[in-house]
Chains A and B, each alone.
Chain A
Amino acid sequence: MSLLKIRNDFIFLDDNKWIYFDNACQSLRPKQVIEAITQYYSHYPICSGRSNYRLAVELQQKLTDVRLTVSKFIGAKKPNEIIFTRNTTEGINLIASSYPFAEGDVVLISDKEHNSNLVPWLLLAKTKKIKVEVVSTNPDNTWNWESFNQKLSNKVKMVALGITSNLDGATIPFEEIIKKSHQFGAKVLLDGAQWAGHHQTEVSKWNTDFFVFSGHKTLGPTGTGVLYGKETELAKLNPYQVGGSTVADTSYTDFELLGVPERFEAGLQDYSGILGLGEALRYLRAIGWGEIEAHEKELSKIMIDGLEKISDINIIGPKESDKRNGIVSFYHPKAESHQTSIILDQTANIMVRSGRHCVHSWFNARGIKDCVRASLSFYNTTEEAEKFVNELKKVIGVLA
């Protein structure tokens, strides 16, 4: 992997002015993605699927190709197991709203889920009287089998878990979790938002029932996301949004839904976004997962090693860099998190995120106010990671 060549693809990194460590929020986009979006608006800014002129047919083919690209990217068996969404949150909401839950059904989540994988279930608990049960993690935020085994039962209809936590980057042993869940007849929904842009995804091999991820975290445009579902599972879902593009025919009293995936993609789709997403996924695959994982692990190690030398700093999650997936979160008792991130930005153009990172429940349960999160991607450099550590030392030196 030629880092210099890669960085040249990212216009934002052109002048090396900024150090972007907020990749868990969203990734940057290479020129190829921007070009794909521009191409749509420049050369075929038209409707797909509804018209039969040549350009419309051409666009339809491009979108079909992207669906195929996505299915290959995540290792799905068929392209029609892919539903385009706006983001991960929408994918989870689609499942929560459409899966045939009954009163008393249990949905199992972990104690550090992103609000997007918590609130939809809590809402469902209010509206459909399902039960949401929470698996506790270990003190170092790693997966707690004991707690999971205690909670898992035949009443569990869905195990909904983030593969990699956006809080601390810790990754759960999802393949074993899937096997175990299936033994109890539970379906598994994996939130791959923090995973898909950093590791190879193989949904069919893993045998997960559902998988969701966002385009904006995988070099793609904002407003794009994907819901994967096994063909058999998607067939069980009732569409929660219907209208144009979801039906084959209507009368004044009835309608005939299209098949999967069209029935879940109501209204005119974000064509440019989908085309951009396709390009993003092709770009990621071309780099190679082995290269990406090794580089991010190296950066993560630099950060963790550097942070551990700062006295009184609390690193959230496991200390081993190979368990962190390029997300390093920490807090210091004497250095306010928001101040730390603002000063890093002001003094060194380092962009990190501070706050509760949409995992308020975890912070509230532990009485921790907030934290600073630095999240990496393959286009970050070792120099940037080292600079981050050095600048952070200075900031803590001033604030603490």
Chain B
Amino acid sequence: MFCIIAFLVLSIIGIFSASHRVLAKEAFDCVFRRITLRPCNTGFSEKMKAQLIGNIMTRSIRMARFLNGHFELLSWILFISTVASLFWTGKGLYNFYMYGSCNGLNKSGFCALDPNGENNKISQAGGSCTIGSGDETKVTLKDVDLSTFPTKNIGSKDTVVFIGCFNCDYTRKAYPVFKEFLNKNQVNYTFAHYPIKGETSYILPIGYCAYQQDKEKYWLFVDKLFESSKEDNAKPEYINKVLTDLGYSSESIAKCSQLPETKTAVARQRIELEKTNIYGTPLVFINSRGLVGPKPFRVYDRILNGLKFWKN
């Protein structure tokens, strides 16, 4: 058993150390002999055991005696721990590749590959920007009516929904990546502004009216607001300028946004968004699968298209 554990450990250390590579080779020879039902005759286990015991003996005779007496048992424990550790490491790597988090889809626990949790940070409903603490498993599109939200490429096979806030850091971080993803994939795309911070709530009716008045220009409007500074987005006069620059009539939009039916529609949209159990932005749905936080491009792409090497 010790050969196997030594082989695993030394192989990893051997990546960086030539002397350990030699030991790993010796351990492998031992393992190979064991799995081919031959006795390990290299003396590797004995040698390593002696080195460990010798090392400990210089500190404590009792400990050395204990190690010698329970070497096989301790080897088993280490072996099982190592296998478990390797399994969880592998799973973590898999999760990180697939979902941008070592812990799995929308899991925000510590991840060594993303120690600051950048891929899971959200602007939390309520106003603070932090790692999300809502129930990640409950985000859903079930019973959510998205028919009144800005949508393009209607009829496409795949459906993608982006719920974000113009002035939230993590939505702003995710949006360029997400745009790249949209540019490479023809999908039925729905956008929803979910203002975490009150300072951009006033954009909701403006956006609603802008989409109603010109669906094509609306997407340019969205792009522009994600490019603009948060300070500018908080100023109505700046929004009016953006609308004007895009060819909208700011007066007409202002008038529309004051209409009771607009306010009702916006309120209904908010109610629909709440049904997703959103607790922070950005929240992206790709074919109903929810992703909380700004994910790397590969995650969006992999969820939509599956693993590329599978397809080759």
Determine if A346 and B68 form an interchain contact, defined as CB atoms under 8 angstroms apart.
Answer: no
> For the complex, is A336 an interface residue (Cβ under 8 Å from B)?
yes
Are the C-beta atoms of A338 and B46 separated by less than 8 Å? yes
Tell me if B58 is interfacial: C-beta within 8 Å of chain A: yes
A345 to B65, CA, bound (A): 17
Q: A398 touching B53 by the CB < 8 A rule?
A: yes
Complex Cα gap A339–B58 (Å): 15
A399 within 8 A of B: yes
B30 → A minimal CB distance (Å)? 14
CB A312 to nearest CB in B, in angstroms, measures 16
Inter-chain contact B50/A339, CB cutoff 8 Å: yes
Query: Which of B43, B53, B54, B64 has a CB less than 8 Å from the CB of A345?
Result: B54
Q: How far is the CB of B20 from chain A (nearest CB, A)?
A: 17
Contacts A343-B50, A398-B68, A399-B68 known; A338 to B43 CB distance under 8 Å? Answer: yes
Q: How far is the CB of A384 from chain B (nearest CB, A)?
A: 19
Contact B47 A338 (CB under 8 A): yes
Report yes or no: B57 in contact with A346, Cβ–Cβ below 8 A.
Answer: yes
Q: Which one, A336, A340, A342, contacts B51 given CB within 8 A?
A: A342
- Tell me the smallest distance from the CB of B168 to a CB of chain A, in Å: 60
| CB atoms of B47 and A347 under 8 A apart | no
Report the contact-size class of chain A (Cβ under 8 Å from the partner).
10 to 19
Q: Please judge, given known A-B contacts A398-B65, A398-B68, A399-B68, whether A339 and B49 are in contact too, CB under 8 Å.
A: yes
Q: Give the CA-CA distance A398 to B55 in the complex, in Å.
A: 13
- B113 CB–A CB distance under 8 Å: no
Taking CB as reference atom, which chain A residue is nearest B67? A398
In chain A, positions 371-397 with a C-beta closer than 8 Å to chain B are: 394-395, 397
A398 near B49 with CB under 8 A, answer no
Q: Is B112 an interface residue (CB 8 A)?
A: no
Q: Tell whether, in the assembled complex, residue B61 and residue A397 are in contact, meaning their CB atoms are under 8 Å apart.
A: yes
Flag A325-349 by CB within 8 Å of B: 1 or 0 each: 0000000000010111111011100
Bound-state CA distance A395–B56 (Å) is 12
Q: Which residue of A lies closest to B54 (CB)?
A: A346
A336 CA / B44 CA spacing, docked (Å): 13
A343-B47 contact given A398-B64, A398-B65, A399-B68, CB 8 Å threshold: no
CA distance A332 to B124 in the complex (A): 70
Q: Pick the contact of B57 from A336, A338, A341, A343 — CB < 8 Å?
A: A343
Kindly report which residue of chain B lies nearest to residue A334, judged by CB atoms: B68
* Binary contact readout B181-198 vs A (1 if CB under 8 angstroms, 0 otherwise): 000000000000000000
CB distance from B84 to the nearest CB of A (A): 29
Main secondary structure of the interface of A (DSSP, over half): helix
* A346–B64 CA distance with the chains assembled, in angstroms: 13
Which DSSP category, helix, strand, loop or mixed, fits chain B's interface?
helix
* Residue on A nearest B48 in the bound complex, by CB: A342
Q: Is A399 in contact with B47, judged by CB distance below 8 angstroms?
A: no
What distance in Å separates the Cβ of A223 from its nearest Cβ neighbour in chain B? 26
Q: Please judge, given known A-B contacts A336-B46, A338-B43, A338-B47, whether A346 and B61 are in contact too, CB under 8 Å.
A: no
Report chain B residues within 8 Å CB of A399. 53, 68
A340–B54 Cα gap in the complex (Å)?
Answer: 9
Asked whether, in the complex, the Cβ of B57 is within 8 Å of the Cβ of A339, the reply is no
Chain A contacts for B49, CB-based, 8 A: 339
Collect the chain A residues with CB atoms within 8 Å of residue B47's CB. Answer: 338-339, 342
B57/A394 in contact, CB under 8 A? yes
Q: Kindly provide the distance from the CB of B8 to the nearest chain A CB, expressed in whole angstroms.
A: 22
Q: Please provide the chain B residues from 1 to 60 with a CB less than 8 Å away from any CB of chain A in the complex.
A: 43, 46-47, 49-51, 53-55, 57-58
Complex contact A347–B57 (CB within 8 A): yes
A339 engages B46 (CB within 8 Å): yes
> A344's closest neighbor in chain B, by CB?
B54
Instruction: Report whether B58 and A346 are in contact in the complex, using a CB–CB cutoff of 8 Å.
Output: yes
* Cα A336 to Cα B65 with chains together (Å): 14
A336→B49 CA distance, assembly (Å): 11
B residues 53-87 with Cβ under 8 Å of A? 53-55, 57-58, 61, 64-65, 68
| Complex Cα spacing A395 to B57, Å | 9
CB distance from B137 to the nearest CB of A (A): 53
With most chain B CB atoms within 10 A of its CB, the pick from A336, A339, A347, A394 is A339
In the complex, which of the residues A336, A338, A340, A398 has the most CB atoms of chain B within 10 Å of its own CB atom?
A398
Q: How far is the CB of B69 from chain A (nearest CB, A)?
A: 9
Please indicate the chain A residues that have their CB under 8 angstroms from the CB of B58 in the complex.
346-347
Closest to A335 in B: B68
Residues in B with CB closer than 8 Å to A338 are 43, 46-47, 50
Cβ A394 vs Cβ B61 within 8 A: yes
Expressed in whole angstroms, the Cα–Cα distance for A307 and B58 within the complex equals 22
Contact status A346-B55, CB under 8 Å: yes
- Which residues of B sit under 8 angstroms from A395, Cβ to Cβ? 57
Q: How far, in angstroms, from A397 to B68 measured CA to CA in the complex?
A: 11
Minimum Cβ distance to chain B for residue A93 (Å): 28
Also in contact, A346 and B43, with CB within 8 A (given A394-B61, A398-B61, A398-B64): no
Cα(A338)–Cα(B61), bound, Å: 19
- Looking at the assembled complex, report how far the CB atom of A116 sits from the nearest CB atom of chain B, in whole angstroms: 23
In the bound complex, what is the Cα–Cα distance between A338 and B54 (angstroms)?
12
Which chain A residues border B65 with CB–CB below 8 Å? 397-398
Considering the complex, give the chain B residue whose CB is closest to the CB of A342: B50
B54 CB contacts on chain A under 8 angstroms: 342-343, 345-347
Q: Assess whether B57 is in contact with A398, with CB atoms less than 8 Å apart.
A: yes
Chain A's nearest CB lies how many Å from the CB of B60?
10
Taking beta carbons and an 8 Å cutoff, which residues of A are in contact with B? 336, 338-343, 345-347, 394-395, 397-399
- 17 CB contacts below 8 A, A to B, read A338-B46, A338-B47, A338-B50, A339-B49, A339-B53, A342-B47, A343-B54, A343-B57, A345-B54, A346-B51, A346-B57, A346-B58, A394-B57, A397-B65, A398-B61, A399-B53, A399-B68
Instruction: Kindly list the 9 A-B residue pairs having the minimum CB-CB distance in the complex, ordered from nearest.
Output: A346-B54, A342-B50, A339-B50, A343-B54, A398-B64, A398-B65, A347-B57, A338-B46, A343-B50
Which B residues fall within an 8 A CB radius of A?
43, 46-47, 49-51, 53-55, 57-58, 61, 64-65, 68
Given contacts A336-B50, A346-B58, 19 further A-B contacts (CB under 8 A): A336-B46, A338-B43, A338-B47, A338-B50, A339-B47, A339-B53, A342-B54, A343-B54, A343-B57, A346-B57, A347-B54, A347-B58, A394-B57, A397-B65, A398-B53, A398-B57, A398-B61, A399-B53, A399-B68
